[in-house]
Amino acid sequence: MFRSRVIGSILKRNKAQLNNISSNLKEISSRRFISSSSSSSSSSSTVARSSLYGFRTLFKGNHKPSVRNMSMAASVSMENKEGLKLLVLGGPHAQKMVRIWLFGSAAWVFSMVVLGGVTRLIRSGLSMTDWKFTGGLPPLSDEGWFQEFEKYKQSPEMNINDSSLFALGAGQGFIGWWMVKSGLEEPPSEYAQPRVSPYCLAAHLTSAFVIYSGLFWTGLSVVMPEPPAESVTWVCGAAKVKKLALPVGFIVGITAISGAFVAGNGAGRAYNTFPKMGDTWILDDIFYMKPLIRNFFENTSTVQLDHRILATTAFFSIGALWLATKKLDIHLAIRSLIGSIVGMAAL
């Protein structure tokens, strides 16, 4: 099909030579009626030779099986009966090169999208403040990186991070002052001992845990960066560990905050037996305060009971996390962290 289209294209571009051949054929054909039978065969030979010579000259000068002629034929447009243009396809080699170009470009764009998503997730899109459209290279020395970091210090994102760190430290100091001030006030009853407010103590402890968690998380990210995804099973295993660890971490956090209310109400010394509280499992005065919500924050018996239940739940949740991840194919660093959490819970 392609070869016939090439021939048609060449014939179309050489109408003059075709007309010349046609006139020769007509002239020779008219001689056939005038000449004798002996000369008729000679004329027929002449017709054949002249036709063959014309076609040979035509194809010798124009039809060369090269990439140039193929590309020329591929660029020809024809109009059908409805006036629509049909693109004449190129040869197999041209089609292969076009396929490589298109699919290669698509793969390049896909890799850019993936890299852009990773850049967004790790929040490094604003780290380089100076961009050049062409001829730009990343810093190749420590001095170059320090210069880029100095430029980043002037960006709004760095100022926001500095403000957040300052706000955490200042907020912790303010909460500490608020907690101490609550203990310097007169107790509500002459029989009550002066102590800090359990609410202030819980807020102070929560703020400390937030700062501690942020520093510890940042330290882990420096010492142990993202584990290499050497296999798909590692990635799937890490995702499952994350889903299991989030609720366990929430329970552990609530347990720690409940401990602040135990300390703030002096409930740690009220009942020193475990698992029972004295001679019974649940005391009768756990809901004597009104409104009911006050018992969970100010009632000595209820506060200690809540802390016991939460601590036991956290312990078994950590054990369940360890058992659930024991058969998973995960990175050694993740498995070591889970083991250290189990050890801390056992202590």
- Predicted confidence at residue 312, as pLDDT, reads 93
| C-alpha span between 243 and 237 (Å, rounded) | 10
Alpha carbon distance 121, 136 (integer Å): 24
> Tokens 């693109």 identify what position?
87
Examine the pLDDT at 17 and tell me if it is beyond 80: no
For all residues of the chain together, what is the average pLDDT?
72
H/E element, 179: helix 156-183
- State the pLDDT at residue 210: 87
Report how far Cα 288 is from the mean position of its chain's Cα atoms: 53
Task: Write the pLDDT tens digit of every residue in 223-261.
Answer: 766 655 566 777 788 888 889 999 999 999 999 999 989
Does 60 have pLDDT greater than 90?
no
In tens, the pLDDT along 63-107 reads 444 444 444 444 444 444 444 444 445 567 777 888 888 888 888
Q: How far is CA 89 from the centre of its chain?
A: 39
Which token pair is 280?
């019974």
Higher pLDDT, 281 or 133: 281
User: 261: closest CA among 317, 299, 220?
Assistant: 299
User: Could you report the per-residue pLDDT of 105-143, keeping only the tens digit for each?
Assistant: 888 888 888 887 777 666 666 666 666 666 667 777 888
pLDDT given at position 71: 43
Looking at residue 316, its pLDDT comes to 94
The verdict on pTM exceeding 0.85 is no
293: number of Cβ within 10 Å: 9
pLDDT, position 5: 55
- What is the per-residue pLDDT across 25-44, written as a single tens digit (0 to 9) for each? 556 555 544 444 444 444 44
